[in-house]
Structure 1
Amino acid sequence: MQEPLADTRLADAGGGAGTIPGGGWASGIYRGSVSHRRTWPRRHHLHYRVWSLLVDLDELGALDRQLRLFSHNRFNLLSFHDADHGDGSDTPLAAQITRMLADAGAGYDGGAIRLWCMPRVLGHVFNPISVYFCHRSDGSLCALVHEVNNTFGQRHSYVIPVTGPVPADRVVRQQCDKHMHVSPFLDMDMRYDFRVSLPAEKLTVAIQARAPDQATPILSACFAGRRRALTDIGVLAAWTAQPLLTWKVVAAIHWEALRLLLKGVGFRRSPPPPLTPVSVVSPHKPSL
């Protein structure tokens, strides 16, 4: 099945939120792949084909009304549920993120909030990481929120304001200390390096985990995808290509964990969760 391609770039040349002429959605499907590369204490690599969504939170109501195969807060082939993100409550997700941005002093004034994530597929979802692109009303980027989940049912959000203009390569570079246990094969005393491209025809989300005193990352993970239109045809094409996407993600996590155990990588016990579910990161240097 040939799904429609997105006919315009999502973000403008200046790095703002951008629009799609002709009434098209800012929301879209990104089909691509995810790869992980570990360098220590054993080398390990994985590569899987996946797809994901970019959802403009202001478009969810209209998407729910106009698409037959996508729903907001109710069951469908693909669906997006506010409770799968943020604090897990029924509070509208946009209100939760707005509150986080206010607490961070990010200068948010009501612009577009767009979330890159995996949707529920036939009611099932697991998101290792989701990224919120938070824009001011003039379209400029004010913050990224990196929302991390682990397989123990815990979630932690890293709110990092953006300082300075978007560079020519349109890639946001940010750092923060790790605050929540994610993998039993990684220590807690680590730092994350994020490299996230602004969503357009292509989208890349890259993360490196490294020890504070080491320049070389222990783990590098990257999603790279190409935009497709969020239509019923686009939904059906993505689902047909990988109908068990979200189950595949969970199965792959456990399969790769078994491979690491067989390679002799040490297992760390899960520490208590962080005291608060949100970390506000104040950049000490430009984050772009």
Structure 2
Amino acid sequence: MTGAARPAAPAALYECVITHARTTPLRHSFRHRTYLWCVDLDRLPVLPRPVRPLARFDARDHFGGGTDSIRAGLDAHLAAHGIDLDGGRVTMLAHARVFGFVFNPLTVYWCHDRSGALVCVVAEVHNTYGQRHCYLLRTDATGGAETDKAFYVSPFFAVEGHYRMRLPPPDDRLRLAVHLENEEGRAFTAVVRGRRRPATVPALLSAAARSPWSTAAVWAGIRRHGIHLLLRGLPVHPRPRTAPQEGTPS
């Protein structure tokens, strides 16, 4: 990788409240607490051995899963769109593996060039069927962007409509929002709010104590609320026979 040397961006933890709100064809909402990592892709944190089961970042969990590092997977994805960061910094917001398990409904990558300017944002979406898809976004000054929906996420929504996203780079506060709009209007909103903490071992242990096995809890919560919606009679849209390949352009 080319590029001038730059100071390491310290890893951070965001203790978050995530809210999901569905408005059509019936109303349903829920909130859950978790924590997310914010890391420099070129300087992933190295934890003391006793706490490593609480956080591991693995290339197989992102993009095509066949590269030596997450950064290599991202660079290959960007190259397919004609983008070369020339060694610029990439900040990733994601869950880490906890006791060997991870589920990331949304991983966000803020991609900068060598000068530090933000070039693009990549939103990598996973569904509970083991599939993933990446949206390449050109955000405005407020972190806003729009893109057509191109990936099956929830069985209660067809692959149609478009997203309005607000994904400003995180600072002391994390403020993300994703809105799904279709012919019936705004159908779904997901909001992430969090406060930054240095990624120290005590902070990690504290977050893990409040949200044990956090990634499994997220996966189980989505499944639990899906069952609830089924019992309320919400119709299911069958999953398409073909889906975007992992890490392919949107």
TM over 0.5: yes
In the other structure, the counterpart of 1:246 is 215
- From 176, 198, 208, the equivalent of 2:169 is 198
What TM-score comes out, normalization by structure 1 length?
0.79
In the other structure, the counterpart of 1:285 is none
Task: Tell me, in whole angstroms, the C-alpha distance in 2 between the residues paired with 1:275 and 1:90.
Answer: 18
Stretches of structure 1 lacking an aligned partner (at least 5 in a row): 1-18, 282-288
Q: 2:97 matched to 1:120? A: yes
Task: Tell me, in whole angstroms, the C-alpha distance in 1 between the residues paired with 2:244 and 2:55.
Answer: 33
In the other structure, the counterpart of 1:144 is 121
Contact between 1:82 and 1:88, CA under 8 Å: does it hold in 2?
Answer: yes
In the other structure, the counterpart of 2:242 is 273
How far residue 124 of structure 1 moved from its aligned partner, in angstroms, is: 1.0
In the other structure, the counterpart of 2:30 is 46
Instruction: Identify if the C-alpha distance between structure 1 residues 160 and 235 changes in structure 2 by more than 3 Å, giving closer, same or farther.
Output: same
Contact between 1:29 and 1:230, CA under 8 Å: does it hold in 2?
Answer: yes
- From 37, 54, 59, the equivalent of 1:82 is 59
How far residue 24 of structure 1 moved from its aligned partner, in angstroms, is: 7.2
Task: Tell me, in whole angstroms, the C-alpha distance in 1 between the residues paired with 2:190 and 2:89.
Answer: 27
Task: Tell me, in whole angstroms, the C-alpha distance in 2 between the residues paired with 1:51 and 1:77.
Answer: 12
Please give the secondary structure, in 1, of the residue aligned with 2:43.
helix
Contact between 2:75 and 2:84, CA under 8 Å: does it hold in 1?
Answer: no
In the other structure, the counterpart of 2:69 is 92
Following superposition of structure 1 onto structure 2, how do residues 10-49 of structure 1 map, counting pairs within 5 Å?
25-49=9-33
How far residue 99 of structure 1 moved from its aligned partner, in angstroms, is: 2.2
In the other structure, the counterpart of 1:184 is 155
Contact between 1:202 and 1:227, CA under 8 Å: does it hold in 2?
Answer: yes
How far residue 140 of structure 1 moved from its aligned partner, in angstroms, is: 1.0
Instruction: Give the counterpart letter for 1:36 in structure 2.
Output: H
Task: Tell me, in whole angstroms, the C-alpha distance in 2 between the residues paired with 1:161 and 1:210.
Answer: 19
| Misfit runs of 4+, over 6 Å | none
Contact between 2:21 and 2:189, CA under 8 Å: does it hold in 1?
Answer: yes
Instruction: Give aligned-pair identity as a percent.
Output: 32
Deviations 1:247-287 (A, max 9, x none): 21111111111111122211111112335444546xxxxxx
What TM-score comes out, normalization by structure 2 length?
0.90
Instruction: Identify if the C-alpha distance between structure 1 residues 124 and 279 changes in structure 2 by more than 3 Å, giving closer, same or farther.
Output: closer
Contact between 2:58 and 2:70, CA under 8 Å: does it hold in 1?
Answer: no
Contact between 1:67 and 1:231, CA under 8 Å: does it hold in 2?
Answer: no
